[in-house]
């Protein structure tokens, strides 16, 4: 149960950073920074939730990390752009 909660939190943490990353050209400094800012938070979540760094946790958390970035980039950034056009 802890692993699923941490996975959800990792996904939610990455949503806004994915949206922010969408505003920058690929491989620029800010693009890179918005990918890496959430990493310390994920590490702290792993430590304080006591799920640790076992191998079986990586597929879920890495998937949630990149899934949050992707959904944030595609959906949240598009949603902001369409609201600015009105």
Residue 60's pLDDT is: 96
- Tell me the average confidence (pLDDT) per consecutive run of 10 residues in the chain, 86 residues long: 96 96 95 97 95 95 97 81 58
Reduced to 3 states (helix: H, G, I; strand: E, B; else coil), residue 86 is coil
Residue 49's pLDDT is: 95
Residue 75's pLDDT is: 87
Give the pTM.
Answer: 0.85
Domain limits of the chain? 1-80
Residue 85's pLDDT is: 53
What DSSP string runs through 15-81? Answer: HHHHHHHTTS-TTSHHHHHHHHTHHHHHHHHHHHTT-TT-GGGHHHHHHHHHHHHHHIIIIIHHHHH
């Amino acid at each position: 149960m802890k692993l699923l909660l941490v996975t959800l939190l990792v996904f939610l943490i990455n949503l806004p950073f994915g949206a922010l990353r969408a505003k920058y050209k690929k491989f620029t400094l800010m693009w890179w920074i918005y990918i890496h800012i959430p990493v310390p938070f994920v590490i702290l979540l792993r430590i304080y939730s006591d799920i640790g760094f076992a191998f079986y946790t990586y597929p879920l958390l890495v998937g949630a990390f990149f899934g949050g970035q992707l959904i944030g980039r595609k959906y949240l950034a598009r949603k902001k752009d369409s609201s600015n056009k009105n």
